[in-house]
Amino acid sequence: MTPSRLNPSSGTPLYLQLVEQLKHSIETGAIRAGDQLPSVRRMAEDLLINPNTVVRAYRDLEAEGIVVLKHGSGVFVRDSVVARTELMRRAEPIIRAAVTRLESLDLDADEIRRLMENELSLRRVARDRRKRLA
Amino acid sequence: MPELVLSRSSPAEPVVAVGHLSRTFRGQKALDDVSFTVERGTVFGLVGENGAGKSTLIKHVLGLWRAESGTVRVFGLDPVAEPAAVLGRIGYLSEQPDLPGWMRVDELLGYTQAFYPNWDSQHAEWLREQFALDPTARIKTLSRGQRAKLGLIAAEAHRPDLLLLDEPSSGLDPVVRRDILEAIIRTVTDAGRTVIFSSHLLDEIERVSDHLGMLHRGRLRLCAPLDEVKARHRRIVLHFELPQPNPPTVPGAIRVSGAERVWTVICEASRLDRAAIARNFGARITDESPASLDEVFIAHTGVACEALPDHPIAI
């Protein structure tokens, strides 16, 4: 579950690359809620990076509420963090039911797609307007 | 989790403080007004092309050479005046460790141990096994990589407060280079220990350094936290409507390269004015990204740090 590889020669700071990779692992469910992340030393030695870089990445994830640092025992993925894959799985029956009903109205695939796009863009406009007023 | 206490908030006194250090060899300035400090618990990466002055600087820190002008302090002491107090707390590995060829591996480790009251035999033995070094082998029969590993054990096993590595991975294969980087990481994870590491391999410097010093022809061109160096430099690509006979003078530009209608600019992020570029030059920014360390090095020195690219380390 250690991120596979970081690229020092890209301009992106290594700690950000590590944050992104860990987030990705959590989203795809490779790292799950409650899992313990490798110790700073272990992660630094595996990835061949400065331990302070690992500390910084862990602190970032903590600030975002993704992990919790438990003193004396390690860094854990918060229980409240639900993997995106899990959310997608929950969304499947909802969308299936909706599409079934739309098809029963005799709408074809293209029309359903257009309706979905239309609805999303209306929401986007409304959201932007609220943001501007705020 | 004690490891997370590895904070940058170190006690006031730096481990190494170099002030206005200059050195001349046969009329040539090998070091020219070099000043920097290294804070406790950090890795200071010193980069520069061959002959930039890295080894000369490190020899001053070791107290092997006396400062011609300027000051050198290590643990608050003058390493020339108090060599025993300073060297006992330093682990040193050079590009070509000077090891007696007639000794056996175990003899050299025993001999080195005698100099250091803090020698950790268990750690030395663990490292020797990790590195698969035969204790009975004569040093003259070892490969270059094996010698580097042996030099690393001798430098690390007394758990020095300061580990000084001078181009340790030059000419070595990726596996040995990995061992060396791991030693740096081990040292700095061990709370409060400090590393100075010189290399012309920017990839390695970037992996393990907290602070970066860029040496070129004896002058420290850039000395700052690595994060800051990265945040401070951007690389933009400009596309012009018409071919440009001369390089565009972009505010904050450190280096401009290109020809005709396409120019690449390495510039200071804080002075980058995208709107002004469009207004003044009629140029479009077609690409913008953080500058890589290679690009930053070339921008500040005009030369590439790595003359010959070594093989990247296999992770």
Question: In chain A, where are the structural domains located?
Answer: 14-77, 84-133
Q: Crossing angle, helix B121-130 and helix B144-156, to 10 degrees? A: 160
The yes/no answer on whether domain B2-229 falls in CATH 3.40.50.300 is yes
Highest mean pLDDT among A60-64, B269-273, B285-289, B307-311: A60-64
**Mean pLDDT, residues B139-156:** 92
| Burial of B241 from C-beta contacts in 10 A (0-12 / 13-18 / 19+) | exposed
Q: Does residue B126 surpass a pLDDT of 50? A: yes
Could you give the CA distance from residue A67 to residue A36 in angstroms, rounded to a whole number? 9
Distance from CA of A61 to the nearest CA of B (A): 14
SS3 B283: strand
Residues A96, A98, A99, A101, Cα dihedral to 10°: 120
Paired tokens of B304: 């590439």
Q: Structural domain boundaries of chain B?
A: 2-229, 234-301
Cα–Cα dist B163/B149, whole Å:
15
pLDDT per residue as tens digits for the range B3-33? 444 444 445 689 999 999 999 988 888 999 9
ipTM: 0.74
User: Does A69 sit within 8 Å of B1, measured CB to CB?
Assistant: yes
- Counting Cα atoms < 13 Å in the Cβ hemisphere of A77 gives 21
CATH number of this structure's domain A14-77: 1.10.10.10
Shortest distance between the Cα of A102 and any Cα of chain B, in A, equals: 44
Most confident of the ranges A9-13, A18-22, A83-87: A18-22
pLDDT given at position B97: 79
Rounded CA separation B130/A49 (Å): 20
Q: Could you tell me which of A12, A37, A13, A11 has the C-alpha nearest to residue A23? A: A37
User: Is residue A45 within 8 angstroms of chain B, CB to CB?
Assistant: yes
pLDDT for B308 equals 42
Shortest CA gap B216–chain A (Å): 20
Cα(B111)–Cα(B25) distance, rounded to whole angstroms? 34
For B203-235, write each residue's pLDDT tens digit.
Answer: 889 999 999 999 999 999 999 999 889 889 999
Distance CA B209, CA B134 (A): 32
Across the strands, what pairs with B165? Answer: B93, B197
| Residue the block writes with tokens 């209306």 | A122
Tens-place pLDDT, residues B42-94: 999 999 888 889 999 999 999 999 999 999 999 999 999 999 899 999 999 98
Residues of A within 8 A of B45 (CB-CB) are none
pLDDT of residue A11: 73
Question: For residue B81, what are its two tokens?
Answer: 């005046």
pLDDT, mean over chain A: 86
Angle at the Cα of B203 from the Cα atoms of B199 and B205, rounded to 5 degrees: 45
Give me chain B's average pLDDT, please: 87
- CB count, 10 Å around CB of B97? 19
Q: Does A8 touch chain B (CB under 8 A)?
A: yes
d(CA B178, CA B175): 5
pLDDT beyond 60 at B279: yes
Nearby residues of B69 by Cβ (< 8 Å), 6 or more positions away: B20, B21, B22
Query: Lowest-pLDDT range, B110-124, B174-188, B300-314?
Result: B300-314
Nearest CA in chain A to B195: A50
Taking residue B305's Cβ as centre, other Cβ atoms within 10 Å add up to 22
Run of H or E including B239: strand B233-244
Looking at the complex, report in whole angstroms how far the Cα of residue A59 sits from the nearest Cα belonging to chain B: 9
CB contact under 8 A, A40 and B178: no
Q: Collect all residues from B whose CB is shorter than 8 A from any CB in A.
A: 1-4, 6-8, 42-43, 178, 181-182, 185-186, 188-189, 202-203, 206-210, 227, 230-231, 235, 289-294, 313, 315
A38 in contact with B at a CB cutoff of 8 Å? no
Contact B284, B278 (CB under 8 A): yes
pLDDT above 80 (res B304): no
